[in-house]
Structure 1
Amino acid sequence: MPDGLDAWQLIITGDAALYTIVRLSLAVSLSAVAIAVVVGLPLGAMLALTRFRGRTLLIVLLNCFMGLPPVVVGLTVFLLLSRSGPLGVLGILFTPVAMIIAQALLVVPIIAALTRQTVEDLWREYCDELTAMNVGPSGRIATLLWDSRFGLITALLAGFGRAAAEVGTVMIVGGNIDGFTRTITTAIALETSKGNLPLAMGLGLILIALILVINAAAWAVRAWSEQKAG
């Protein structure tokens, strides 16, 4: 299998084009997940612990947005950031910043919805204790988020997986510009269409390896936390 051998050779020899794409992909996806965590964790916890008119509708919408078509998000961000759009003055279309924004919009609903479910389940367990201690809303959110931190790793993994595997959204808002906005997934699609299978396969192998390493690390952290709790 010559293409497979060539793919491994590109990885082992540290091909510059391949690793430039990998670095950009990691920077964009991790930045998007970080933004989504800052927004999604408190949003999910707030929905779990507070009751207000329209809460049920908001939860339904949040769950619906988990399956929002990526190309729709990409098109929306494109229209907002285009020259004729309301945010066109920023001039960030076809840049990594636009890609981060688009991926963050995809990841926020996932993290928020999973956080809401996790914190709501934990609230049922600690409701009496926190109420008796007269802990306020912000204190409840902070306490339950901290106590469920290891369980929320699943939400973070789901978010990273969505971001790292995305093609349509980053293609629309990033433009797949060589050396500037070309990510692993968009490069795989492009190089496969060009017949450059070694580079496409090499990028695919690295993407699989990244997912495996992150999941293994998350499993190790959860196993350690369960052992420590036991």
Structure 2
Amino acid sequence: MADLIEAFRRATGLIVTIDPNLVEILMLSVQVSLSAIAIASVLGFAIGGALAVYRFPGRGAVSAVLSALMGLPPVVAGLVVYLLLSNAGPLGVLQLLYTPTAMIIAQVVLVTPIIGALTRQACQDLLEEYDEQLRSLGASPSAIVVTLLWDGRFRLITAVLAGFGRAIAEVGAVMIVGGNIDHVTRTMTTAIALETSKGNIALALALGIVLLALAFAINAALIGVQRLANRLAYA
């Protein structure tokens, strides 16, 4: 018990004194996840909006696959990206393996289905309400997609925040493609796993506290967006 209290005290000290190593790991984690969520949002909005509005053969199957990929195991996503970026893979010439870029790609693969599926559902719900009105105005399918995305922006913010929560807490995929290299590809989750195995509980605990604080902040933001959307809906 005394050892645990001492580890917690040291972890708190690392946070309060803004330990450079802790900050470096935190900044890399946030940078990678924000980059991934920005790319995944663009892809997810486009895919989800198109699936909700356009009619084409196999649309139902594509939607089902997209929904199934929401539960894609991170290690599988990491393995796929690893095979693509390895020297023997089709993208090996780019030499991206074990770089932050590879980690961003892995997170994009994980997060895009989440944002895409939630976007499709949000746009589909809105389309049921506004379909006749939009088509009576002669709106093209692309214009309808843009209109639905704008009208459902608060739901889409929720989807983005959910995706960011998945990305920032991910460990398996980024470990495979990033290699957990110190000062290069070490994120909060991979550092927690490494430092715990080394017995450096103080740093692992400090990173865990910061990660937990981020999770609470994301959940608070989700609740805030939902409340704002409800107020505007009934205004």
TMscore range, shorter length: over 0.9
Q: What is the aligned partner in structure 2 of residue 168 from structure 1?
A: 172
1:146 matched to which residue of 2? 150
Cα displacement (A) at 1:51: 1.3
> What amino acid sits opposite 1:193 in the alignment?
S
Per-residue deviation, 1:223: 2.5
Residue 5 of structure 1 corresponds to 9
Question: CA–CA distance in 2 between the matches of 1:69 and 1:37?
Answer: 20
Corresponding residue for residue 24 of structure 1? 28
Amino acid at match of 1:157: L
Q: Which digits, 9 at most, give the CA deviation of each residue in 1:71-115, with x for residues without a partner?
A: 111111111111111111101110000000010000000100011
Distance (whole Å) between structure 2 residues aligned to residue 35 and residue 42 of structure 1? 11
Structure 1 residue 167: deviation in Å?
Answer: 0.7
The residue aligned with 1:120 is 124
Q: Any idea what the Cα deviations from partners look like across 1:116-136, whole Å, max 9, x if unmatched? A: 011100100111210111111
**Is there any run of 5+ residues in structure 1 with no aligned partner, and where?**
none
RMSD: 1.1
Percent of pairs identical after alignment?
57
Deviation, structure 1 residue 172: 0.5
| Rounded Cα–Cα distance in structure 2 between residues aligned with 1:117 and 1:213 | 25
Query: 1:51 is aligned with what amino acid?
Result: R
| Match of residue 195, structure 2, among 191, 195, 201 | 191
Q: Secondary structure at the match of 2:155?
A: coil
> Equivalents in 1 of 2:91, 2:32: separation in Å?
20
1:84 is matched by which residue type in structure 2?
A
One of 137, 144, 147 as aligned partner of 1:133: 137
- Cα distance in 2 for partners of 1:221, 1:121 equals 18
Aligned match for 1:204, one of 202, 208, 232:
208
Give the count of matched residue pairs. 230
Counterpart residue number, 2:217: 213
Output the TM-score relative to the length of structure 2: 0.95
Shift of 1:199: 0.5
Aligned to 1:70: 74
* Alpha-carbon distance, 1:196 to partner: 0.6
Say which of 92, 96, 99 aligns to 1:92.
Answer: 96
Q: Which residue of 1 aligns with 2:64?
A: 60
Per-residue CA deviation, residues 120-175 of structure 1 (Å, 9 max, x unaligned), is 00100111210111111111000000000001222112211111111110001000
Compare 174-183 and 49-58 and name the one that shifted more: 49-58
